[in-house]
Amino acid sequence: MSAGIKNHNRDRYERVRRLMWIKCEACGRLVFYKDYKNNHYVCPRCNRAFIMNPKQRFDLLFDDIDWQKFELPLPTDDPLNFSDMVAYKERLAEAREDTGAKDAISTADGKIGGINTTVCVMNGDFMMGSMGRAAGDAIIASVEHAIELKNPFVMVTCSGGARMQENILSLMQMARTTVAVNKLHENKLPYIVILTDPTFGGVTASFAMLGDIHIAEKGARIGFAGRRVIEQNIHEKLPSNFQTADYLYDHGMVDIVADRSDLKETLERVLSVLTKQPRDAKVIDIKTPKFDTPKKSRDVGKSPEYDRVLLARNENRPHLLDYVNGIVDKWTYLAGDRCFAEDAAMCGGIGYWYGIPSVIIGQEKGRTIETRQKHRFGMPNPEGYRKAQRLMKLAEKFNLPIISLFDTAGAFAGGAAEERGQSQAVASTIAMGLSVKTPYVAVNVGEGGSGGAIAIGTGDKVFMLENAIYSVIAPESCASILWKDNKFKAQAATALKLTARDMASLNVIDKIIDEPAGGAHKDWQTTMEMVGKTVADAIKELQEVPVEELVPNRVKKFLSMTRDVEIFQPDHIPEEKQV
């Protein structure tokens, strides 16, 4: 037998073997190829997600694997006549032969959850998905195509960064693709970025980090400079999870970290809200949990007002995420301030409130020891308030109503919070709330503590639960400062006029929402029905007001507050006579 025939047989054997088994580059184990393919090209042993080509991505994301490819422009090759060890033209020819693609970008139209959508995919197998003129032109053409069709635009990134062989021409694609993204925002079309492994360099530092919503695939590596470069520069060992999807989530850069198998369902939820697909109101069906009954406070009965304080703080009252679970349908939690961190004390996301697509924000206190520590007892850091601002902007872009459920002792008081600009964060959140051009309803569902509360309390309509409180300072702190002893907290609560009835008398709120007998903590079902319907009715009323009138009306409302106020105050009792 000739050597040629032997080689041919061996090549055929190798091809068959590769179709049957592959070796995972992450864990080193052999995996049956069929299992690997059925698992969306994720190793079933170690869960490492590997590069998918554009066709595989389109099949994964579009309904019924039904999509139509969009023909993209292709500029002339090798504008700089670049050559290293191999000429750039040869590298392009090899990449085209290996992948069957003209360059690193492919685009297709189809439906995701029944919604017409344009999806643009970077092919990591084509010169590591690097961005040159062809990629830049393709992204720009794809965005213009989506704008013409009025389609939401989904960008799936996978890239080592800018293409070195095109030098400055590649660098300019960062600016050019950003122009295209700005056009998407101007046309108020959803722009969702799916960050996959790897996404680095000029891609991350341009269009990949400018989405309305960022979804990172579990385990994806995402960053600007590569790990090795950073370690060489700073001469330090970086954390093992550095630049992973979870790391970026913790540092506020991505909204969602999703398994590859969950990407389509996540996109469907997000797109349905952002495109305001009609949906029936969710039927509220929630049982009041049987929590441990708090020990009766020895301060009960000292004054009716302080009794309200204790009810507002009752640890069994429903919190923000409880209301979301009971009232909101198709909820998607959105994380991060895109600058520094994800702050779990300030929660937010999108979903259907009584059938109304909405942006929902609020403080979450937590209930167990673990969740209270995670949510910092509902006292946000600056990044929490900056996340609220980001979600307000998202609501304004898509004309979604903002629903704020505030419940906090106040913004977190700490050295690190001051260093990161706590005062500025609260102030700019107030300013954003007063100027955002979309219906805005705020509800005080528990403790309305100082600037931390009003930061997300400047709605067109401001409601307050019957047993909630609203105050510039906690009565205990007020007593310590003015009475020089916090044992006078009940007297301080009375003097501060902090109850819902007081707020209504002072014209600070628009309506008191009744609570079930004994308080909201006694009957979650009734409480949520009343809160849900009251807010929904207010939103429907506000949606009838022309958008251009919302802000002037809101401004007028808050400017008129506190003028010519007279309210009964108890006679001053000398400190020595107080008991």
- The tens digit of pLDDT for each residue in 473-493 reads 999 999 999 999 989 999 999
DSSP states of 152-198: -EEEEEEE-SB-GGGHHHHHHHHHHHHHHHHHHHHTT--EEEEEEEE
Instruction: Please tell me which residue, 231 or 259, carries the higher pLDDT value.
Output: 259
| Helix (H/G/I), strand (E/B), else coil: 384 | helix
Has residue 442 got a pLDDT over 90?
yes
pLDDT reported for residue 10:
55
Has residue 4 got a pLDDT over 50?
no
pLDDT reported for residue 33:
82
pLDDT, mean of residues 90-115: 95
Kind plus residue range of the DSSP H or E element containing 547: helix 547-559
Mean confidence (pLDDT) of the chain: 92
pLDDT, mean of residues 59-87: 92
Has residue 571 got a pLDDT over 70?
no
Q: Which of 379, 506, 445, 362 is nearest to 498 (CA)?
A: 506
Has residue 63 got a pLDDT over 50?
yes
The model's confidence at residue 15, banded by pLDDT at 50, 70 and 90, is low
pLDDT reported for residue 577:
40
Has residue 576 got a pLDDT over 50?
no
Has residue 27 got a pLDDT over 70?
yes
Facing residues of 332 across strands? 350
**Angstrom distance (rounded) from CA 552 to CA 293:** 46
pTM: 0.92
Which residues, at least 6 apart from 279, have a Cβ–Cβ distance to it below 8 Å? 272, 329, 330, 352, 355, 357
The encoded tokens of residue 172 equal 């300019």
Kind of pairing between the strands at 153-159 and 511-513: unpaired
**Angstrom distance (rounded) from CA 561 to CA 293:** 39
pLDDT reported for residue 28:
85
DSSP states of 464-531: EETT-EEESS-HHHHIIIIISSGGGHHHHHHHHT-BHHHHHHTT--SEEEP--TT-GGG-HHHHHHHH
The model's confidence at residue 301, banded by pLDDT at 50, 70 and 90, is confident
List the domains of the chain with CATH numbers.
Answer: 1-48 (no CATH), 51-274 (3.90.226.10), 304-560 (3.90.226.10)
**Angstrom distance (rounded) from CA 520 to CA 527:** 6
Q: Which of 399, 298, 291, 388 is nearest to 349 (CA)?
A: 388
Instruction: Please tell me which residue, 4 or 372, carries the higher pLDDT value.
Output: 372
pLDDT, mean of residues 168-176: 96
Which tens digits make up the pLDDT trace of 501-554? 999 999 999 999 999 999 999 999 999 999 999 999 999 999 999 999 999 999
pLDDT reported for residue 434:
98
pLDDT, mean of residues 39-51: 90
Do the beta carbons of residue 51 and residue 43 sit within 8 Å?
no
pLDDT, mean of residues 406-434: 96
Which tens digits make up the pLDDT trace of 454-470? 999 999 999 999 999 99
pLDDT reported for residue 578:
45
C-alpha 558 chain-centroid distance: 29
pLDDT, mean of residues 342-352: 98
- Compute φ and ψ for 498, nearest 5 degrees: -110, 5
Has residue 17 got a pLDDT over 60?
no
Facing residues of 443 across strands? 405, 463
pLDDT reported for residue 563:
73
**Angstrom distance (rounded) from CA 251 to CA 239:** 14
**Angstrom distance (rounded) from CA 189 to CA 211:** 11
- Return the ∠ at Cα 558 (arms to 552 and 559), rounded to 5°: 85
Neighbouring CB atoms inside 10 A of 437's CB total 14
Neighbouring CB atoms inside 10 A of 347's CB total 27
pLDDT reported for residue 567:
54
Among 25-29, 168-172, 211-215, 294-298, the minimum mean pLDDT is found in 294-298
Do the beta carbons of residue 386 and residue 392 sit within 8 Å?
no
**Angstrom distance (rounded) from CA 541 to CA 549:** 13
Residue whose token pair is 């600070």? 508
Give the chain's count of helices (H) and strands (E). Answer: 22, 17
pLDDT, mean of residues 359-363: 98
Between helices 167-186 and 133-149, what is the axis angle to 10°?
A: 10
Q: Which of 452, 61, 66 is nearest to 266 (CA)?
A: 61
pLDDT reported for residue 337:
97
**Angstrom distance (rounded) from CA 104 to CA 51:** 13
pLDDT reported for residue 411:
95
pLDDT reported for residue 275:
98
Do the beta carbons of residue 83 and residue 48 sit within 8 Å?
no
